[in-house]
Amino acid sequence: MNSKRVILIVLDSFGIGEMPDAAEYGDAGADTLGSVANHDRFRMPNMQSLGFFNIDGVKHGEKTDKPKGKFMRLAEASKGKDTTIGHWEIAGVCSQYPLPTYPEGFPEEVIEEFSRLTGRGVLCNKPYSGTVVIQEYGEEHMRTGDLIVYTSADSVFQIAAHEDIVPLETLYEYCRIARRMLKGEHGVGRVIARPFIGPCSGEFTRTSNRHDFSIEPPAVTMLDQLKEAGKDVIAVGKINDIFAGQGITEYVYTKNNEDGINKTLEYLDKDFEGLCFVNLVDFDSMYGHRRDIEGYARALSYFDERLPEIMAKLREDDILMITADHGCDPGYTTTTDHTREYTPFLIYGDKIVPENLGTGETFADIGATVLQYFNIVPEFAGKDVLEEK
C-alpha cells in the first residue's frame, strides 16, 4: 500500500506583490517577483508549467494554457511579515499582534537582566548588520569578554561571540537564558547565536554554527496534529528552529538552498507517511535583505532548474506544495526589511486536477489542506483547497 506524503517547500520571502494593507507596514508598491522577473538571470519555465504565472494578480512572466497544477495566491491574515509569524500561519496559527521589534535597541532593563543572568557585559545593543557588527565590536569583545548583542528589522535578539572567547556550548546556553527571559511583551520571535572566528585586529568571519532559539507557537499547529495522529513530520532547514522543535519527529539542518534541495531529494527516496516541511532560506538571507536583485533571480532560476528532480521522485499519492512566508523585495530600497506581500501556493501531484483557486484569505489554508489530505480535522481556521466544490 502506498503511503501518503506531502512535500511542502517554502521559498523563503518569495512574495508576489503588495497586499492591500502594505502601506500600513511601510511597504507600498513592494513586489518581490516584480523586482526580479525582468532580470536576464530570471528563468522559471518549470514553475510556469505548474501555473505560477497564471496566479491572480501576477503581472510578470508568460501564462500557460495547460497548467499542470492547482495554483492560487494567499493573503497573510496575521499582523506581521516575519519568518516566524509566516510559518506559524502556514501551520494554522494566526497572530493577532506582531512580534516585538526594537529599532532603538532593547530597553535598559532587558540588557541589565541579561547581563546579570550571564555574568557578562553587553556591547552594541542596536540594530546592525551581522557582518558589520563583528568588525566594529569584535576586538573589544575579545579584550573584555563582553557579549555583542544586536537586533535587526526582524523580531530577533542576536548574540555574537568569538568561538575562542565563548565556547559554542556556552554561547548556546546564554541564548537559552535569553530565550527563557524574553517572554510576554519582550517575547521576540528568535534568539540567535552568531559565533565568529578570526584574529584580533584582523578580519572576523561568521561561522556556520549559528543556532536559532525560537519562541514556541502559542496554539496547536498542523505539525502537532500530524504528530499526534502518528504521522512523520520531517523538518528540513530552519523549520525545526522556527517551531522550537514542537510537533516535529525528525529534522536536518541545511547549509544553503542547494543543500536543502539535496536533502529533500534524499528524503523522497525514503519511505515515510506524513509531511516533509522544507525551508529554502537563501532567497531571504542572502539576497532579499541584501537587496541583491541579480542574486535573487539566480537563486530562483536555480530552484526552478532543480524542480524536475523533485517532481520525478513523487509517488502516486504524493503531493508537492510550493509557497512562501512573506516578501523581501530586493528592489525595495526604502528599508532592508521584509515586505508585506501576497504569497504563491502551487499544488502538484498525479491526482491533482489543474485549477485556478483564486485568492485565499490566510496562509492557514495550507495547513488545513495538508491535514485534510490525511483525514485529520484541523483544530484551527483554514480552508481545504483540495475539497471538491
Torsion angle defined by CA atoms of residues 28, 85, 44 and 277, in that order, rounded to the nearest 10 degrees: 180
Q: Domain 5-97+217-373 carries which CATH code?
A: 3.40.720.10
Distance CA 233, CA 103 (A): 36
How far out from the chain centre does Cα 113 lie? 30
Torsion angle defined by CA atoms of residues 342, 347, 348 and 351, in that order, rounded to the nearest 10 degrees: -160
Interacting residues of 243 by C-beta distance below 8 A, sequence separation 6+: 87, 88, 91, 214, 216, 217, 221, 223, 235
pTM of the model: 0.91
Distance CA 353, CA 365 (A): 18
H or E element at residue 368 = helix 364-373
The structural architecture, per CATH, of the domain 108-214 is: 2-Layer Sandwich (3.30)
- Cα–Cα distances in Å, from 67 out to 71, 72, 336, 354, 356? 9, 12, 34, 6, 9
Residue with cell 522543535: 245
H or E element at residue 290 = none
Q: Per residue of the chain (389 residues), what is the pLDDT tens digit?
A: 568 999 999 999 999 999 999 999 999 999 999 999 999 999 999 999 999 999 999 999 999 999 999 999 999 999 999 999 999 999 999 998 889 999 999 999 999 999 999 999 999 999 998 999 999 999 999 999 999 999 998 899 999 999 999 999 999 999 999 999 999 999 999 999 999 999 987 899 999 898 889 999 999 999 999 999 999 999 999 999 999 999 999 999 999 999 999 999 999 999 999 999 999 999 998 999 999 999 999 999 999 999 999 999 999 999 999 999 999 999 999 988 899 999 999 999 999 999 999 999 999 999 999 999 999 999 999 999 998 55
Domain range annotation of the chain: 5-97+217-373, 108-214
- Cα–Cα distances in Å, from 220 out to 159, 237, 279? 30, 21, 20
Radius of gyration of the chain (CA): 21
